[in-house]
Amino acid sequence: MRPPQLTTPELRNVIERLSRSSLPLNQQKAIETLFLGGDDQVREAYRCAWQYHARREQYRPEGNWRYWLILAGRGFGKTRAGAEWVRAQVQLGRKRIALVAPTAADARDVMVEGESGLLNICARDERPVFQPSRRRLVWPHGAKAFLYSAQEPERLRGPQHDAAWADELAAWANMQATWDQLQFGLRLGPDPRLVATTTPKPLPLIKTLLSDADTKVTRGSTYDNAEHLSPAFISRIVRRYEGSRLGRQELHAEVLDDAPGALWTYETLIKSRVAKTPDLVRVVVAVDPSGSTGADEGDAQGIVVAGLGADGMAYVLADRTCRLSPEGWGRRAIEAFDDFGADRIVAEKNFGGDMVRAIIQTVRKTAPVTLVSASRGKMVRAEPVSALYEQGRVKHLIPDPADNPLAELEHEMSRATSNGYLGDGSPNRLDALVWALTELMLGEPVKGGGYVELARREIADRM
């Protein structure tokens, strides 16, 4: 079937001269039967013949560019395209390549050892050696690829590279800091390049790359690779989310702007983040109970801690939301009260009335509790609080951007619109936030402030 002197990479190159996409389906099947019926080396060469198997949109772009952004839906084949690009760069002579993933485990499990990772796509004759203790891959002729995590951007400070693969960029916990450090080190050789593979999110860095003249963009959907995906995946996952906003992002790779009428934009939330707070003159714990007993799959109990700074600004300090029994969430609220030296617990009384106060004071009889009544809709209550964010008067305490303790709260905030809540379930975290900030910032009327006056009247209905 083949000259015996050919190595696996050489045989692979012969196969790649065929143009699969231009062949009739019956010829594609005949070629597949031919090569899969060969010996181990023939089968391996066929499996590794990327230029034969790849769809045209998975080919690396021609011309001058610094960044190749593969913005595609789940199951498109982004990981394989990224790994094959790295393999090609090694063949072109690049020596030091950065592999950056959301976490160290992702770098190992997906980029290196995954089904479409570097160890599996390379033929035995050219396969690198993985040295996990040194976080690197070493190819037979000396090229090296180094593993990094977006949770540790400082590890990119110092090392130099001539190429980089950034996987699932939109999922990086510390996106901008990691990206910046990666760029500073991408300085070896005459033409350092980077491929970024990701499912999109409406984040500033993604938008910046899309508008960068040095970026080549490949877009694709889950359906582009349907023939290689499990029928169960197509029927259960794709059909479930098709037509939804999440499906447009995760399946069709649309970069969705903020929800229409969003009360909090992504940009607003990012600008609100701070690493520390000034001295606090007040701290409250806000509780939004739910009808859940903790033993069911009901809504969580929202528990959010916020403080008023000596500078007059509000600071969101913690999200202690839980799904527990009444005694459990009562203890959780008191723990937050103690941890942050709070002076009051503010709790919505719609679920249980005086029972809410009783639950908290069963844990601690002397706990100061103020009950508030939700006489208007959730989004109506949220609007005056969103105005505080627009004015820059509320900040989120996030000491380490790599580990955002308010991530779930911020997600709920991003799905709140003037027309209703677009997320799943009930936004109990958001409700608790609104009660906390209303207590701290909107307790007194402001002349001419309609939203502020509305909030003032709501908190006036207390016991």
What distance in Å separates the CA atoms of residue 235 and residue 371, rounded to the nearest whole number?
47
Q: Report the pLDDT averaged over residues 37-55.
A: 70
pLDDT beyond 50 at 455: no
Q: What pLDDT shows up at residue 19?
A: 58
**How do strand 129-131 and strand 136-138 relate by DSSP bridges?**
antiparallel
**What is the three-class DSSP state of 351?**
coil
Alpha-carbon distance 98 to 89, whole Å?
12
Higher model confidence: residue 55 or residue 127? 127
Q: Mean of the pLDDT values across residues 365-376?
A: 84
Confidence of residue 75 (pLDDT cuts 50, 70, 90): confident
pLDDT of 122 over the 90 cut? no
| Lowest-pLDDT range of 30-34, 93-97, 409-413, 451-455 | 451-455
Instruction: Compute the distance between CA of residue 463 and CA of residue 461 in angstroms, rounded to an integer.
Output: 7
Q: Residue 315: what are its φ and ψ, rounded to 5°?
A: -130, 120
Which pLDDT belongs to residue 240?
A: 66
Q: State the pLDDT at residue 462.
A: 40
294: left (phi over 0), alpha (psi -120 to 50) or beta: left
More confident residue, 27 or 287: 287
The overall pTM is greater than 0.85: no
Residue 288 CA neighbour count, 13 Å, CB half: 21
CA 432 to chain centre: 24
pLDDT reported for residue 139: 95
